[in-house]
């Protein structure tokens, strides 16, 4: 019996002060000093005990990035001298999509390998832009056997990257009558992708590749950046090439399982040449989702060629490129998925989605919209303490010195993040009553969309919304 897939995590405390949401303010001159047990010692999350960096020096203010916002310490301080304020630096990191909260929780997961919790519960809006206008069905959460984390039931997160035959036929002797290609599986519906910005030093790249190899996934890397001493990571690398430069990398293409070639008109002529270099090569086509382009139609045409996977790219915020009113990736995935179903090729081809995937729940939501899996890039940098401050874009030094990171440490942080993400995926799949990620693909019946609910329930009373929620 094959070994059960698992991601083993190990705590990796941050090298630098994380930018915490709260700073502690204490009027210590009023402290009685006679309390039998200080409220700090009674913290149910052991924040003051385990906030590794500030305790030894007791610097002020204390940036408590692991605080879960229950505020028990403030309420129970007998002298009322204890309070919290929002750290002003916290408001400045990230952007309106990669928010400070997303960065903070990513750091926590990369540090501990645990699912983040909030002592105060969820206090945000119930609907927002992008994936936040979509909810998943948790109707099976009442069934205790649906629990993939604690091992009472195995939930499979494996996906396929190779093409599936349209149908099977058999000869008179019972043998297969159609050629069947080797199956390339990935144990996780998450692949890595070389970020488009950041401190992309050799150590950073090795950190990502080491993590990919450890958890059994693959990473999209520009073929020009695969140095000779990275060839040992060959099975974990998916080199990115185009029809003009693929011939420059014959040795690389012979030692990898999969290659991605950039979409251009006439790209189909290159496929046979790639197969000649490595007959078992799984072919992926990378397509940028650009406004004004019939990307659903292009995907249908590509699916009829001898390729295995489509990799569709949105921008970092999950929106289409070159548009004043960009669509979000969940809607574009839905269009592509339905177009392939209409062309009767969806079962043969795979879809990997990039852009806008910054939390574990986005993986499952992207799969519901029609993807087989996702590729992530910025989250890998954030796991290694990147603050998305854009200093590197301006030629300034990195505040967390990513260029000096130890690959063992960097890979540990990424593995922790993936362990926490996978556990959250298992929780969601179990709550939906599903035992494998592949069953979730295109299952919109397992979700609720704000647009549909509003149209069905409020439009008959108040009329149709004139401005999209993603815009307004």
Two tokens, residue 57: 């020096």
Cis peptide bond N-terminal to 416, omega within 30: no
pLDDT of 209-249, one tens digit each? 999 999 999 999 999 999 888 889 999 999 999 999 999 99
pLDDT of residue 54: 53
| DSSP β-ladder status, 219-222 and 237-241 | parallel
In the chain, which residues have pLDDT < 50? Answer: 1, 471-472
In angstroms, what CA-CA distances link 103 with 63, 130, 223? 15, 18, 29
To the nearest 10 degrees (0 to 180), the angle between helices 407-431 and 360-368 is 50
CA dist., res. 385 & res. 370, Å (int)? 31
pLDDT of residue 407: 96
Whether 210 contacts 411, CB under 8 Å: yes
Closest CA to 315 of 299, 300, 332: 332
CA dist., res. 29 & res. 279, Å (int)? 76
Locate all alpha helices (DSSP H) within 219-347, ordered by sequence. 250-254, 268-277, 295-303, 329-342
Whether 216 contacts 232, CB under 8 Å: no
Whether 203 contacts 407, CB under 8 Å: yes
CA dist., res. 250 & res. 23, Å (int)? 55
Two tokens, residue 130: 């992008």
pLDDT of residue 384: 96
Length of the chain: 472
CATH topology classification for 22-92: Alpha-Beta Plaits (3.30.70)
To the nearest 10 degrees (0 to 180), the angle between helices 202-215 and 407-431 is 40
Whether 99 contacts 316, CB under 8 Å: no
Whether 428 contacts 140, CB under 8 Å: no
Multiple choice CATH, 159-454, 3.20.20.70, 3.40.50.970, 3.40.50.10420, 3.40.109.10: 3.20.20.70
Residue spans in the chain of domains classed CATH 3.30.70: 22-92
pLDDT of 17-43, one tens digit each? 888 888 777 766 667 666 777 887 788
pLDDT of residue 61: 57
pLDDT of residue 28: 63
In angstroms, what CA-CA distances link 435 with 76, 153, 191, 408? 44, 8, 21, 33
Radius of gyration of the chain (CA): 24
* Residues forming a β-bridge with 260: 240, 284
* Residues forming a β-bridge with 238: 220
Q: Is 59 exposed, middle or buried (0-12, 13-18, 19+ CB in 10 A)?
A: exposed
């Amino acid at each position: 019996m094959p070994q059960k897939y698992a991601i083993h995590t190990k705590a990796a405390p941050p090298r630098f002060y994380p930018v915490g949401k709260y700073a502690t303010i204490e009027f210590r001159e009023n402290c009685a000093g006679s309390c039998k047990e200080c409220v700090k010692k009674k913290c149910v999350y052991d924040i003051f005990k385990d906030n590794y960096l500030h305790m030894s020096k007791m610097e002020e203010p204390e940036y408590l990035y692991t605080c879960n916002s229950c505020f028990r310490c403030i309420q129970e301080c007998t002298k009322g001298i204890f309070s919290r304020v929002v750290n002003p630096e916290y408001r400045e990191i990230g952007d309106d999509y990669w928010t400070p909260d997303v960065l903070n929780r990513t750091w926590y997961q990369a540090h501990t390998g645990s699912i983040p919790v909030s002592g105060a519960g969820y206090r945000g809006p119930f609907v927002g832009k992008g994936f936040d206008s979509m909810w998943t069905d948790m109707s099976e959460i009442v069934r205790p056997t649906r629990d993939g984390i604690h091992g009472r039931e195995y939930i499979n997160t494996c996906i396929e990257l190779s093409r599936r035959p349209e149908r099977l036929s058999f000869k008179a002797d019972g043998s297969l009558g159609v050629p069947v290609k080797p199956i390339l599986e990935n144990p996780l519906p998450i692949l890595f992708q070389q970020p488009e910005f950041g401190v992309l030093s050799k150590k950073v790249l090795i950190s990502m590749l080491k993590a990919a190899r450890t958890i059994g996934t693959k990473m999209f890397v520009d073929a020009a950046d695969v140095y000779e001493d990275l060839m040992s990571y060959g099975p974990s690398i998916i080199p990115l090439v185009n029809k003009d430069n693929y011939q420059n990398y014959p040795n690389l293409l012979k030692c990898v399982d999969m290659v991605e070639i950039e979409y251009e008109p006439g790209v189909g002529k290159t496929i046979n040449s790639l197969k000649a270099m490595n007959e078992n090569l799984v072919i992926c086509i990378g397509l940028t989702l650009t406004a004004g382009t019939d990307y659903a139609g292009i995907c249908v045409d590509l699916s009829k060629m001898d390729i295995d996977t489509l990799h569709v790219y949105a921008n970092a915020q999950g929106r289409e490129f070159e548009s004043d009113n960009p669509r979000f990736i969940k809607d574009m995935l839905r269009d592509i998925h339905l177009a392939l179903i209409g062309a009767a090729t969806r079962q043969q081809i795979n879809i990997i989605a990039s852009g806008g995937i910054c939390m574990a729940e986005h993986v499952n939501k992207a799969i519901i919209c029609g993807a087989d899996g996702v590729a992530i890039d910025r989250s890998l940098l954030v796991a290694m303490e990147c603050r998305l401050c854009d200093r590197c874009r301006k030629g300034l030094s990195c505040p967390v010195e990513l260029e000096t990171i130890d690959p063992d440490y960097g890979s540990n942080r990424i593995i922790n993040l993936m362990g926490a993400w996978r556990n959250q995926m298992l929780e969601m799949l179990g709550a939906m009553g599903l035992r494998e990620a592949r069953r979730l693909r295109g299952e919109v019946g397992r979700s609720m969309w704000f647009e549909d609910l509003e149209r069905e329930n409020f439009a008959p009373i108040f009329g149709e919304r004139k401005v999209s929620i993603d815009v307004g």
